Every structure is written in C-alpha cells, then in structure tokens.
Structure 1
Amino acid sequence: MSAIEITKEFLEELVDLIQEQNQEELIPILEKFYPADIAELFDDIELEEALYIASLLEPQKKVDVLTELESDTKLQFLSGYTNDEIANDFFAYIDSDDAADILNSMDTTQGKEILRTLEDKEHSKNIASLLKFADNVAGGLMAKELIKVKLHWTVKQCTDEIRLQAEDVSKIYTVYVVDDYDELVGWVSLKTILLAKEKMTVDEIYNDNIIYEYTYTSGEEVAATIQKY
C-alpha cells in the first residue's frame, strides 16, 4: 500500500505542484509511492503531467511504473518519448516478453525502429523472436518449418538429414545452410543436392547470395521482391 491516501483533494494538490514544477515538494512525495501507486495516478492526470512525474523518478522506478500500467495507458505514456528513449531507457531494462507485448500493440514501423535502435542487440533479438506477426507481413507469411543443413556437411549427410526433417515439412524446394553457430549463411536447392556427388560438401554447392526481407515488411513488398528475384 502507498504511504499516502490518493484522494480527490490529494490529486488536485499534486497537479498544482506539477504545474508549478515544484520538484522540492514532489520528489519526497513520489519517493513514498510504489510503482503501482504511481501507475494508478497516471490514470487520473494528463499525459504531460505524467511525463513530468516520470522525469523526477529514478531510472529503474520509471521502468517499473511502465510495467504496472494498463496496455492502453502504456502506449499513451510512451507516445511522449522518442523511439531511442523507448528503446534504451525502457525496453533495455524490461523482460523480453513485456517488451514484445508492448510492441505487438504498436505501429509496426515504429516497433521495427525501436528494435533497431536498442543498443543491446541480443535483447533486441530476443524481443523480436516473441513478436506476433499479422497475416499480411513477412513474419506472418513465412513458413515456420524449414530444413537446414551445416555448411561443412557432405551431400550424403545432407540427404540423411533431409529425410529426418522432411517429416515436419510439407514441401521442400530450398534447403537453408547454417554455420557452426547456427547462423544463416546461404541456401541450396534440393535439386542441386540430389544431383551432386555424395562426397561433395555443402560449401562446394551452396549459394551465399541471401535475399531477405524484415519480418515486418508488408506482403506487397515481399511479393515485389519475389517477382524481382
């Protein structure tokens, strides 16, 4: 529970202090509140007033307040910040699943820019892996079941592995090639594998020209890329 009862009179006094930008009195008051209490306050004050309160909080407490807000209020609150601030002042310090939940409610272009801006690239990657994709963007259009082989494998190893993975894939045209760190390095057509000698290795027959689109690219743009290549 908060150390101060949130009444109508208290809210009026708080708003007066905000409008006066009276940090000397506001900061001791806010220190007595838990993040959940401050989040509750945000439901009853204007965005500019909420942003001013947030500017007076310790960085971690500001992040904790964000996680306590209702979904709609989160978006309204974050609208007062730049993409860089959202990425590195908030998302850098919250769990990947919480960040993904917020991004799923945002405009996809803004969400993509926030992930690009996030300095912690591993955290950005983790968030991206949890996102839901609309049916009309690349992430929603792409097949989730893909066959992959290692760059150093022989053709014989590839065909054995394809047989194992084929049970989970309805159609096979392209096989994706990864390195020892499981990073995509290229692709090879199934026909090329079947025509190659068994002792040949993947790095002798694969294609390293990777044509890609971001997961949030629109279906129309994906179609244009496919038509081009």
Structure 2
Amino acid sequence: MVRLNEQTREEYVNHILQVLKENDKEQFREAFLELHPTDQMDIFSNLEKDQRQLVYVYLSAAEFAEVFQELEIEDQKRIALELEDDFIAEMFNNMYADDVADYLAEIKDAKAKAILSAMDKEDADDVKELLSYPPETAGAIMTKEYISIRATQTAAEVVQLLREQGPDAETVYYLYVVDEKDKLVGVISLRDLIIAPTNEKIENIMSSRVVSVEAHMDQEEVAKLIKKYDFLAAPVVTSTSELIGIVTVDDVMDVLEEEATEDLGEISAVRGATDVNATAFTSARKRSPWIILLMFFGLITAGVIGQFEETLEEIVLLAVFIPLIMDSAGNTGTQSLAVMVRALATGALEKKGLWSTIKREFGTGLMLGLICAAVLMVLVPFIYGSYMLAFIVGISLFFTLSVSTIIGAVVPVIINKLKLDPAIASGPFITTVNDILGLLIYFSIATSLINYL
C-alpha cells in the first residue's frame, strides 16, 4: 500500500485522472487500490460527478467501502445519492458496524430502515445494537469487529484463529478472554501471544486485571480512560460484565475532537454553529439565543452607567476609561474561565484541589491588578495631568481584575456541580457579568473620591 507524500501526490493524481479519462479500468485499479484509504478518499473527493460514476463501476462495493467510511458524514450523504441500492447495501455489509451506525444516525428513519433491511441480517443486527444506545456513550461508539477467545485455548489455536478472523477485526493488538457466558475474564496482548510457547494455555499467559468500560459510560469518560492507560482499545461490557464490543483509539480521537469543538462552541457562545458548511440562516438561528440574552445583559450594563449619571456629568473624563475597565474585566474573566474548564475536562482540578486552584487564580488576579494599576499610575498623570484620576482608575482596575478572576474560576465549577457542561459558562457571559461588576466598582470608587478630583 502506498502512502502519498508531497512529491508524488500531484503525479499520482494526474495519473489516476488520466486513466479515468482513458477508461482504463485495470490501470485505474492498480494505481488506486495500492494507495492508503485516506489518500483514496482525498483523490475521490476531488473528482467530478462523471469521474465518480466510473469509480463506482471500476471498484467493487467492498473496495469502495474503504473510501466511503473515510468521508465526512455530509459527504457520505451526498455520495450515497449517486449509488445504486444494491451497491449501497453491499458496501455497508463491508464497513465496520460503528461507521455504518454513525451514518444511519444522521439520515431519515425511513431511509435508514430500508438500508438495514437490505443488509445481511448479522451485520444489520450489529448496527441496530449500536443505534439502540444513547448518543455519546461507549455503546454508541464501540465497534463489534473484535476477537474474543477462551482461556482453555492454546497459543497455537489462537494464532490460527487470528489468521481466520483477523482480516475482519478492527484491531488484533488486544485479544479478550471470555468464559462460557461471554463474560470478560481476561486480556492478552498480541506481543504476549506471539512470544508464548505454542502449547501454552491462554489462562496461563492472560492478565485477569482487565480495565473495561460500561456500555452507558459517557464517551468523554471513555476517552479519558483510554488516554490514561495509553490503550489502543478498551473492551465494552454490560452491567453483568458480558463483552459486547470495543472502543478503539481512532474512535477516541474523533470523540476528543468532537468534545473540543463543543467546548469551543460553548465558550464562544456559538454552540452548534461552528460548522463552516452550515447555512447563514442555520448559523444565525443557533447563535441568536445567546446574542439576545447578552443584549439584555447589555441593558443592565447601560443601567449601571445611568445610575452614575451625575458622577459622569461632573467629571466627564471618567467616561474615557469605561472601555478600559470593561475590556480588562472581560478578558481576565475569560482567561480564568478557560483555565478552569480545561482543568475540569482533564481532571487536573481534582488532583490540584478546588480551593488551591481558586486561590491561585485569585492570586493571579491580584498580581495582574497590581501590574496594570502601576502602569496606569505612570501613564494617566502624564497624559491627563491628574494623579487622583490615576489613583481612581488604578485602584478600580486592581479590584476589578481580582474579582473577575474569581468569577471566571467559580462559575464553571458551580455549573459542573449541577451536572452540566462547565463550558456553557461562555466567554461572552462571563465577560458581560464582569463588565457590570467592573463598572460598579469603578463608579463607586469614583463617586466616593470625586471631591478630590
């Protein structure tokens, strides 16, 4: 199998396009099938519709399955419209069950049922099982293509089993040992199997201390476990320890990307609207609730400023520093928010301790406040000629940054305690809250010291 590099990519693509243009089936198959599936997908994605039609003729359904399962879901739905029903059914029969389930979960129920009824019963049953689990759980992302063995088998018997079943398994680096009731009782690595004497019983070389995940465990927790133990795969079991599937590291990488995208969407208040392929209407619909909510918070901010109208009328120069106070408060709070959300996601908060982390953030806010206040104490008198104005702005910023770090650190922890995603304490939300608090601190201090200006 060839993996394209930058020097050969253009050459290969041009060659494949040329043989397609010449309708040379054998040359196309020889050049295309020796490529890595990822490169096959890259080349296929750039073909015109008439060229793709030739690919469907030149490749079998089983061969095209390798290409199809590499595509993004939206691309899969588009390509499926170009395929014959029989071709689709055979293609899905040759795909991993979890990849088929991912696709069927994104299309209309009637179409999904039609595809399942056209598939082989055993393959369809595996897919139906995956679809029966709640989204974003171990059961929903696991694959059914794994190899299980018995403790009474010998190493030689298992090696022979690998030769027979290995090509259809998603991974063979771990072999899971089950009893007569299919309960998970042990695990053996491929390395240990190979170096073991051929007549050695599996029960003598397996490890009975198996780390497994329950089918209804959240996918993010599964990803953390696999990362913690550096697994290539983790067995999935029922509440009675029956082995029903495995979650592989490539599934975990997809989960981590998905969770990171969700957290980014939550923190920036664009959840569900991070997909650049979404229409402007869809993006606006998903963003608008937060924008409208923040608009009402903005009215509160305006109300705070209105409460200190007399102070502003007396010393108009105070208005110059409103953006500085608001921006500094929002930025500092968002930084603390990002730190805490990340600490909660990685489990670092549990290791470090809640109060220790909050104390550190508060200390950071104090030092940031001192640094910013010191800078303002130098610049404001130089620019505006008033040491008292510099003191008011500096001390206000000191208290504002100290409070902002606490708000940014505590809010996601509270939300997490409520069993919600801490990332929903979005940056814009924290920013607006800190804006309000910052203005209250600023104008309260300014009002108290206005007679000295």
TM-score, structure 2 normalization: 0.26
Which structure exhibits the higher relative contact order, with contacts defined as CA atoms closer than 8 Å and separated by 6 or more residues?
Answer: 1
Q: What TM-score, normalized to structure 1?
A: 0.49
Q: Which has the higher helix share?
A: 2
